[in-house]
Protein backbone atom coordinates (compact mmCIF):
# COMPACT_ATOMS: atom_id res chain seq x y z
CA UNK A 1 0.00 0.00 0.00
CA UNK A 2 1.14 3.52 -0.80
CA UNK A 3 -0.08 6.52 1.18
CA UNK A 4 -0.70 9.65 -0.83
CA UNK A 5 0.64 12.86 0.61
CA UNK A 6 -1.66 15.87 0.81
CA UNK A 7 -1.85 18.17 -2.18
CA UNK A 8 -2.94 21.73 -1.84
CA UNK A 9 -2.95 23.84 -4.98
CA UNK A 10 -4.46 24.22 -8.36
CA UNK A 11 -3.84 23.43 -11.94
CA UNK A 12 -2.18 26.34 -13.66
CA UNK A 13 -4.39 28.40 -15.90
CA UNK A 14 -1.66 30.73 -17.04
CA UNK A 15 -3.39 33.69 -15.45
CA UNK A 16 -2.19 35.76 -12.57
CA UNK A 17 -4.11 38.25 -10.50
CA UNK A 18 -3.22 40.89 -8.01
CA UNK A 19 -5.01 41.26 -4.68
CA UNK A 20 -6.70 44.54 -5.59
CA UNK A 21 -9.60 44.68 -8.01
CA UNK A 22 -11.50 47.25 -10.00
CA UNK A 23 -15.08 48.30 -9.35
CA UNK A 24 -16.28 45.82 -11.99
CA UNK A 25 -14.74 42.96 -9.98
CA UNK A 26 -11.99 42.22 -12.50
CA UNK A 27 -8.46 41.84 -11.13
CA UNK A 28 -6.40 45.01 -11.44
CA UNK A 29 -3.03 44.23 -12.93
CA UNK A 30 -0.24 46.11 -14.64
CA UNK A 31 2.46 44.38 -16.60
CA UNK A 32 6.04 45.58 -16.74
CA UNK A 33 5.63 47.50 -20.03
CA UNK A 34 2.52 49.31 -18.74
CA UNK A 35 4.39 50.27 -15.58
CA UNK A 36 7.28 51.68 -17.60
CA UNK A 37 4.88 53.64 -19.82
CA UNK A 38 3.19 55.11 -16.75
CA UNK A 39 6.55 55.98 -15.23
CA UNK A 40 7.75 57.70 -18.43
CA UNK A 41 4.46 59.63 -18.66
CA UNK A 42 4.88 60.69 -15.03
CA UNK A 43 8.42 61.90 -15.71
CA UNK A 44 7.38 63.77 -18.89
CA UNK A 45 4.48 65.53 -17.18
CA UNK A 46 6.14 66.46 -13.93
CA UNK A 47 6.66 70.08 -12.92
CA UNK A 48 10.20 71.08 -14.05
CA UNK A 49 10.54 73.38 -11.05
CA UNK A 50 9.69 70.55 -8.68
CA UNK A 51 10.95 67.31 -10.22
CA UNK A 52 10.16 63.88 -8.83
CA UNK A 53 12.48 62.81 -6.06
CA UNK A 54 14.91 60.20 -7.40
CA UNK A 55 14.48 58.06 -4.28
CA UNK A 56 10.73 57.89 -4.88
CA UNK A 57 11.41 56.85 -8.48
CA UNK A 58 13.78 54.10 -7.37
CA UNK A 59 11.34 53.00 -4.67
CA UNK A 60 8.55 52.61 -7.24
CA UNK A 61 10.82 50.68 -9.58
CA UNK A 62 12.03 48.38 -6.79
CA UNK A 63 8.47 47.75 -5.58
CA UNK A 64 7.30 46.82 -9.04
CA UNK A 65 10.31 44.55 -9.53
CA UNK A 66 9.45 42.71 -6.31
CA UNK A 67 5.83 42.27 -7.39
CA UNK A 68 6.95 40.99 -10.79
CA UNK A 69 9.28 38.46 -9.13
CA UNK A 70 6.45 37.31 -6.84
CA UNK A 71 4.19 36.76 -9.84
CA UNK A 72 6.92 34.75 -11.58
CA UNK A 73 7.45 32.66 -8.43
CA UNK A 74 3.72 31.99 -8.12
CA UNK A 75 3.59 30.90 -11.75
CA UNK A 76 6.45 28.45 -11.19
CA UNK A 77 4.79 27.15 -8.03
CA UNK A 78 1.52 26.60 -9.94
CA UNK A 79 3.46 24.62 -12.56
CA UNK A 80 5.09 22.51 -9.86
CA UNK A 81 1.75 21.81 -8.17
CA UNK A 82 0.23 20.86 -11.52
CA UNK A 83 3.09 18.46 -12.24
CA UNK A 84 2.70 16.87 -8.80
CA UNK A 85 -1.06 16.48 -9.30
CA UNK A 86 -0.48 14.85 -12.70
CA UNK A 87 2.05 12.43 -11.20
CA UNK A 88 -0.43 11.49 -8.47
CA UNK A 89 -3.13 10.98 -11.08
CA UNK A 90 -0.84 8.78 -13.19
CA UNK A 91 0.09 6.67 -10.15
CA UNK A 92 -3.57 6.14 -9.21
CA UNK A 93 -5.01 5.05 -12.57
CA UNK A 94 -6.03 1.40 -12.55
CA UNK A 95 -5.15 0.88 -8.89
CA UNK A 96 -7.39 0.35 -5.88
CA UNK A 97 -7.83 3.43 -3.73
CA UNK A 98 -9.23 3.62 -0.20
CA UNK A 99 -10.30 6.78 1.63
CA UNK A 100 -8.70 7.72 4.95
CA UNK A 101 -11.71 6.55 6.94
CA UNK A 102 -12.16 3.40 4.83
CA UNK A 103 -15.70 4.28 3.78
CA UNK A 104 -14.90 4.61 0.05
CA UNK A 105 -12.88 2.04 -1.85
CA UNK A 106 -12.58 0.90 -5.44
CA UNK A 107 -10.55 0.77 -8.62
CA UNK A 108 -9.68 4.12 -10.18
CA UNK A 109 -11.24 4.48 -13.63
CA UNK A 110 -10.29 8.12 -14.27
CA UNK A 111 -8.74 11.10 -12.53
CA UNK A 112 -9.70 14.74 -12.93
CA UNK A 113 -7.39 17.58 -11.91
CA UNK A 114 -9.41 20.24 -10.05
CA UNK A 115 -8.52 23.37 -8.11
CA UNK A 116 -8.55 21.25 -4.93
CA UNK A 117 -6.19 18.66 -6.43
CA UNK A 118 -6.72 15.35 -8.22
CA UNK A 119 -10.12 13.68 -7.82
CA UNK A 120 -10.46 10.02 -8.75
CA UNK A 121 -13.61 8.56 -10.25
CA UNK A 122 -13.91 4.92 -9.25
CA UNK A 123 -15.28 2.10 -11.42
CA UNK A 124 -18.43 2.08 -9.25
CA UNK A 125 -19.07 5.76 -10.07
CA UNK A 126 -18.10 7.27 -6.72
CA UNK A 127 -15.42 9.93 -6.45
CA UNK A 128 -12.63 10.48 -3.96
CA UNK A 129 -10.12 13.31 -3.58
CA UNK A 130 -6.58 11.94 -3.78
CA UNK A 131 -5.17 13.67 -0.74
CA UNK A 132 -3.73 13.01 2.68
CA UNK A 133 -4.67 9.66 4.19
CA UNK A 134 -5.83 8.08 0.94
CA UNK A 135 -4.04 4.80 0.19
CA UNK A 136 -3.30 3.06 -3.10
CA UNK A 137 -2.87 -0.68 -3.43
Q: Which domain holds residue 54?
A: 30-136
pLDDT digits (tens, 9 = 90+) for 23-66: 555 555 666 677 778 878 887 888 778 777 778 778 877 887 88
**Is 10 part of a structural domain of the chain?**
no
Q: How many whole angstroms separate alpha carbon 75 and alpha carbon 72?
A: 5
Mean pLDDT computed over every residue of the chain: 76
Supply φ then ψ for residue 122, to 5 degrees: -85, 165
Q: Is residue 84 part of a domain?
A: yes
119 exposure class (CB count in 10 Å sphere: 0-12, 13-18, 19+): middle
Domains held by the chain: number? 1
Residue 3 lies in a domain: no
Assess if residue 64 is contained within a domain. Answer: yes
Has residue 19 been placed in a domain?
no
Domain contains 16: no
Q: Is residue 94 part of a domain?
A: yes
On whether residue 25 sits in a domain, the answer given is no
Amino acid sequence: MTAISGLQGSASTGQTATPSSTAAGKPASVDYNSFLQLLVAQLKNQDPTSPMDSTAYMSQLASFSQVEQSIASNSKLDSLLSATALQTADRALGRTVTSADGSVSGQVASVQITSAGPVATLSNGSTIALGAGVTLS
